[in-house]
Each structure stands twice: as structure tokens, then as C-alpha cells.
A and B are shown apart, each in its own frame.
Chain A
């Protein structure tokens, strides 16, 4: 007999465990210093990493700025949109 009443529900491993990518897209309006500031504020990145990601967005048109659990990815995209940056999320393939 189990020592607790916890109900174990099998989860959909594929959908829960696949990491999600948070992608920021280049746009002609947001200032580079601002994009760097947003990356530091939202993700807690240091200036060097934030500037590197900002440059990637600017030069390559997009950059994967974070990857991980879906709920966290959604929260980050919401925060990026609140800061008026073009951001999307994609499942890792």
C-alpha cells in the first residue's frame, strides 16, 4: 500500500520536456542601447552578454536569447513585448 494518497498522472513527456527558444527579431526602431538594457533587465545578463545578443539581433536579424521550460519562455516573451521588442517563441526541434 502506498504511504501517501498522491495521485500520479503520467505526463506528456514530449510536450513538457522539449525546450522552447525565446527569439528576438531586429526592428528599425528600438535603439541598440535600449535592447541591451532590456536583456540585462529581463534575463539578468551582464553587459557583455547582453551586448553580444543585441549585436546578433542587429546583424543577423534575430537571436535566440534564452531557451528552457515553456512557461518561463512565455513569461519572457510577454516581458519582451511589454518592452515593445519583437519576440517569438519556438519549440526546439
Chain B
């Protein structure tokens, strides 16, 4: 897989084989892999009694809907590009946020499950294979996000 900036200010993802499609679809699989929805985890931070009940009832569902919309967009774009058969997936400035959000949801969920060592003191080779796989996917998502930030979301 290659991801390159476009002259239109977006990114082009060149998919080389079935494994690449699987990796891309892993973004949304990982995003929903946590025990608790991201909106609820964030909502739980609002503890002020004047606010918390309304927040839980009104804001949390709204946030969850937004996060789901981003995942639906990304999954749809991947499936559409796969069916198109050209092996290319285009990310425009207009839809870059959906991608950044989905990648971030995936990284947050993976970190919540595996608690990766952010100091990097433990080499990936020493990790349990399932954790190593999750760690490497998280690193890929991070690199993808950096490309979005540097070339699209400026």
C-alpha cells in the first residue's frame, strides 16, 4: 500500500492486494473493538452534578452518532473503492475529517485495550503476537493520521 498527497490537497491510497483492503477495513473493526463507546468514556469525565445528567442524556448520544457517521463513511469509501476495481482510494479535504476521526477512534480503542507502552521501552518483538499486531496497526494508523495532518487538514 502506498499513500501519497495529491495536487488537489488530498491523499491517494494505492492498494496493491487483498491484504491491503483487509488492513484498511481494520480501521473500523478496531474502532469498535473497545469495551465501552468512546462517547460514553468521554461523557463519564463530566461529573459536575449540575451538568452530568443532561450531558449523558443529550450530548453523549449526539457524539456517538457523529463518531458512527465517520466510521460509516470510511467503511463505505473502502468498499466502494474495492468494488470499483481500480485499486485506488481518494481522500479529499472535504472528507479528511471522517478518516482522521475513524483512525483516532481505532487508536484510542486499541490503546484502551492493550495500554501500549508509550515510552517505547519494550520492543514490539517482545510483545505477545496479538498485542504486537494491534501495536503495529496502531502505528500504521498514526502514520496515516500524520499524513492527513501534514497534507490535508492544514
Interface residues in chain A, defined as those with a beta carbon under 8 Å from any beta carbon in chain B: 15, 25, 28-31, 33-34, 37, 74, 77-78, 81-82, 84, 86-91
Contacts and interface: CB of A to CB of B under 8 A. Distances in A.
Contacts, number: 53
B145 A34 contact: yes
Given A84-B101, A84-B104, A89 B149 contact: no
Give the secondary structure class of A's interface. mixed
Contact of B43 (A25, A28, A74, A81): A81
Interface residues of B, number: 29
A61 to B, nearest CB: 13
A82 B63 contact: yes
A74 B42 contact: no
A31 B146 contact: yes
Pairs A-B, 9 closest by C-beta atoms: A28-B118, A81-B42, A29-B107, A88-B45, A84-B104, A29-B111, A33-B149, A29-B108, A78-B59
25 contacts: A15-B50, A28-B116, A28-B118, A29-B104, A29-B108, A29-B111, A31-B145, A34-B100, A34-B104, A37-B153, A74-B51, A81-B39, A81-B43, A81-B59, A82-B66, A84-B38, A84-B42, A84-B104, A86-B42, A87-B42, A88-B45, A89-B46, A89-B48, A89-B51, A90-B48
